Amino acid sequence: MAEQPEGSVLFGVFDETSDHESRVALTPDIVTRLRKAGVTCLIESGAGNKAFYTDADYEAAGAKVTTAQQIIEQANAIGFVDRPSAELVKKLKAGTWVIGMLGSFTDEAYVDELKQQGLTAVAIERLPRQLSAAQSMDEMTSQNSVMGYKAVLEAANAYGSFLPMMTTAAGTIRPAKMLILGAGIAGLQAIGTAKRLGAVVTAYDVRPASKDEVESLGAKFLDLGLDFSKGQGEGGYARALTPEEQAAQQAAVDEKAAGFDIIITTAKVPGRKPPVLLTKQGVDGLHRGAVIIDCAASELGGNVEGSAPGTQVTEGGVTVIGAPYLASEVSTTASNLLSRNVADILTHFIKDGVLTIDPSDEIDQAMVVAGTKE
């Protein structure tokens, strides 16, 4: 068992804010909760500014506001919105616990660095989300939910017309037709938000359960006439489609997409490159002024062929926004939720005031990617 002296958990959080990141992995309300659990919180000065929390707010909640160097030297557990940079990993002392989105499914070399440094690494992306004990730790759910909401606002902002139907003295404006591809946590939140704003919403997902979920929110399910139900992934998640299935899906989506004004894509497969759902041909089939928000856009690619983080306008006048940072744009709430998730992961590992790995615990088995499980 990996252990520290009793009652000595010092939890540190760095300032991760950048051009694209406004979230913080610890908010003042959670400092109060953690103190009750016997945890001392250290936070880098300025870390909460972009989420609208000042150093004084953290101090009032009982955290110690300090420098990155002091956190490196004193903390025995560190929480991240993202993950520590390679430079920071080299500075962390052996035995430090690191909790973050470590990219462990796709970046083995990074996990090796964590091991070599002697760190105990807890990978949030490996949380067994299907367990009821894991619900309050589920950062993927909390952040995807924020992302789905913000994606609709982003689309509404970029679109040159109204979302709702509107009858004015100068005529009636028809509602926007919106298609949501990927009806998981983000997609369902996007449906709810788009419906509240008055758009006419259609959605699609490969998971067989999603038809009922989509319809229960008052949206129409897009039937592509394809059945991908065989060999569904574990825990109700989508599996990666075969190349043939993917080609059939792309052709069907490209054809149906042409009738929509706004398309929001949120389709992912855990730990893999996101599937391309809409090809260049599909994008070119959309009318001038149509808007696409690709929430899956990343360095690994996105759900829309050729999309990348940022905004592109095609020759045909379609605005394609690669939007991987949407949760960060709702910085206060996204930070509150994320901070609660990270704190619940931390306290899960504290037994009798000590950071401990229980090799028989399903959550520990799944999430600890570096450090001893024996």
Q: What residues line the site for ligand NAD (CB under 6 A)?
A: 129-130, 140-141, 144, 181-187, 205-207, 236-238, 241, 249, 266-270, 275, 277
| Shortest separation between residue 306's beta carbon and ligand NAD, angstroms | 17
| Cβ proximity to ligand NAD, 63 vs 222, nearer residue | 222
| Shortest separation between residue 209's beta carbon and ligand NAD, angstroms | 6
| Shortest separation between residue 246's beta carbon and ligand NAD, angstroms | 7
| Cβ proximity to ligand NAD, 23 vs 50, nearer residue | 23
| Shortest separation between residue 353's beta carbon and ligand NAD, angstroms | 29
Distances (CA, A) of 364 to 77, 93, 128, 317, 334: 15, 22, 10, 50, 25
Closest residue by beta carbon to ligand NAD: 184
Question: Which residue stretches of 8-95 are H helix?
Answer: 28-36, 55-61, 68-74, 86-91
Write down how long the chain is. 374
**Dist CA 192 CA 185 (whole Å):** 11
| Cβ proximity to ligand NAD, 185 vs 197, nearer residue | 185
| Cβ proximity to ligand NAD, 271 vs 317, nearer residue | 271
Query: Mind spelling out the 3-state secondary structure of 123-150?
Result: EHHHCCCCCHHHHHHCHHHHHHHHHHHH
| Cβ proximity to ligand NAD, 6 vs 215, nearer residue | 215
**Distance, first Cα to last Cα, the chain:** 6
Neighbour count for residue 191 (Cβ, 10 Å): 26
Which letter does DSSP use for residue 163 in this model? S
Instruction: Burial-class residue 266 by CB neighbours within 10 Å (0-12, 13-18, 19+).
Output: buried
| Shortest separation between residue 100's beta carbon and ligand NAD, angstroms | 18
**Dist CA 334 CA 139 (whole Å):** 10
Contacts of 22 (CB under 8 A, 6+ apart): 50, 51, 328, 329, 331
Structure tokens at 279: 């090809």
| Shortest separation between residue 40's beta carbon and ligand NAD, angstroms | 31
Structure tokens at 86: 């390679």
| Shortest separation between residue 294's beta carbon and ligand NAD, angstroms | 13
Query: Mind spelling out the 3-state secondary structure of 84-110?
Result: CCHHHHHHCCCCCEEEECCCCCCCHHH
| Shortest separation between residue 320's beta carbon and ligand NAD, angstroms | 18
| Cβ proximity to ligand NAD, 30 vs 264, nearer residue | 264
Angle between helices 331-348 and 139-158 (to 10 degrees): 170
| Shortest separation between residue 155's beta carbon and ligand NAD, angstroms | 17
| Cβ proximity to ligand NAD, 40 vs 141, nearer residue | 141
| Cβ proximity to ligand NAD, 83 vs 268, nearer residue | 268
| Cβ proximity to ligand NAD, 68 vs 226, nearer residue | 226
